[in-house]
Amino acid sequence: TDVKKIAVIAGDGIGPEVVAEAERVLKRTEEVFGYRFETEHALFGGIAIDEKGTPLPEETLTVCKSADAVLLGAVGGPKWDNNSKELRPETGLLGIRKALGLFSNLRPAVVFDCLKDASTLKPEVLEGTDLMVVRELTGGIYFGEKFRREGSQGQEAVDTCVYNVTEVERIVRQAFEIAQGRRKKLASVDKANVLETSRLWREVVNRVAPEYPDVEVEHVLVDNCAMQLLRRPASFDVIVTENMFGDILSDEAAMLTGSIGMLASASLGEGSFGLYEPVHGSAPDIAGQGLANPIATILSVALMFRTTFGYAEGADAIEAAVAEVLNAGHRTSDIAVDKSKAISTTEMGDLIVAAI
């Protein structure tokens, strides 16, 4: 087999702990399936600010660019929250997305049977929920011009939301294709009754939709979508939306599953390159104590296998191993009902590795 290069960014907080378990899973799949990985670690986020004076050092970008995929733990923490903009972990996150051309963020929100009770939603409402938010990740108000100026009413701040047809079309087409591989339903979310960028968005969706006649499309206003996710989560299949709306709705969708500690995400560019990371944050409050749940990061490896490498067998094996361990009743403290029986980060890693 050819060697796949993976850039590994452990990051801050619980990042290093959960990434360490994911790397053991990688190793295990080399033994079992004969895959060959070459991993290279790189500094990013808060730790890069501390050690290199910038959240996204040039070397890190070089490592990522020469890799086939990136595995990211988590970044950020209170230590850097009051830094100036250029010295904040988030700035590194936006920078790496742009520099690697990761225009598409896939955020699957699924319900793990054994975690149904962890949701604040009624089980009968949640039943069958399995949706995917496809969020545009390198455009919109995140990347438009931002500045301050003096106005007649005192200082004012400006953010600019810009989308061009090319940007919208590539993410919309990707969402249609993803829907074709799923339940063939696409909800395009916008605020076309107010925003010009949303009207452009909707025009593009309507223009390309006839090329995907097997996919049923609906336009949903963002405020209504925030409601419908609560009302009828199981009725959604794929949701495609712009950057800011996607940030909000993907977190809402993740939280309603009750499985937020278990969800993986992928950020993709052109071709097969992708950055994979757990949906959860760096959880500085529990960092370094062996309390973190490594499952979302381990499932990010499965997502990487399937999406970037086409290693379906390995992906299936990882997912099956996670399911097996959970079904046997093993829980880290975040998902344990009886906290006194909770196992540690490495114990969870051991069990999953053994089950592959």
Number of residues that bind its own copies (CB under 8 A): 56
Our finding on whether 194 is near ligand IPM (CB under 6 A) is yes
Query: Between 255 and 294, how does the x/- string for binding to its own copies read (CB under 8 A)?
Result: xx---x----------------------------------
Q: Does 185 belong to an annotated binding site? A: no
Write the DSSP string, 198-267.
Answer: HHHHHHHHHHHGGG-TTSEEEEEEHHHHHHHHHH-GGG-SEEEE-HHHHHHHHHHHHHHHT-GGG-EEEE
Q: How many other C-beta atoms lie within 10 A of the C-beta of residue 280?
A: 22
Side-chain-side CA neighbours of 5 within 13 Å: the count stands at 12
247 is catalytic: yes
| Catalytic position from the list 113, 223, 316, 341 | 223
Q: Please name the helix (run of DSSP H) or strand (run of DSSP E) that holds residue 343, with its range, or none.
A: none
| Catalytic position from the list 191, 212, 276, 334 | 191
Q: What is the C-alpha to C-alpha distance for residues 33 and 27, in angstroms, rounded to an integer?
A: 10
Query: Between 183 and 222, how does the x/- string for binding to its own copies read (CB under 8 A)?
Result: --------x-xxxxx-xx---------------------x
Q: What is the C-alpha to C-alpha distance for residues 314 and 305, in angstroms, rounded to an integer?
A: 7
Place of tokens 């499965």: 302
φ and ψ at residue 253, rounded to 5 degrees: -60, -40
223 is catalytic: yes
φ and ψ at residue 51, rounded to 5 degrees: -95, -25
Residue from the set 72, 74, 93, 171 that interacts with ligand IPM by CB under 6 A: 93
φ and ψ at residue 271, rounded to 5 degrees: 75, -155
Q: What is the C-alpha to C-alpha distance for residues 55 and 61, in angstroms, rounded to an integer?
A: 11
Residue from the set 21, 23, 68, 247 that interacts with its own copies by CB under 8 A: 247
Q: Please name the helix (run of DSSP H) or strand (run of DSSP E) that holds residue 136, with its range, or none.
A: strand 130-136
Q: Does 287 belong to an annotated binding site? A: yes
Our finding on whether 193 is near ligand IPM (CB under 6 A) is yes
Query: Between 37 and 76, how does the x/- string for binding to ligand IPM read (CB under 6 A)?
Result: ----------------------------------------
Applying CB under 6 A, the residues found at the interface with ligand IPM are: 90, 93-94, 193-194, 223, 247
Residue positions annotated with a catalytic role: 142, 191, 223, 247, 251
Residues that bind its own copies (CB under 8 A): 88, 90, 94, 120-122, 125, 141-142, 144, 146-148, 151, 153-167, 191, 193-197, 199-200, 222-224, 226-227, 230-231, 244-245, 247-252, 254-256, 260
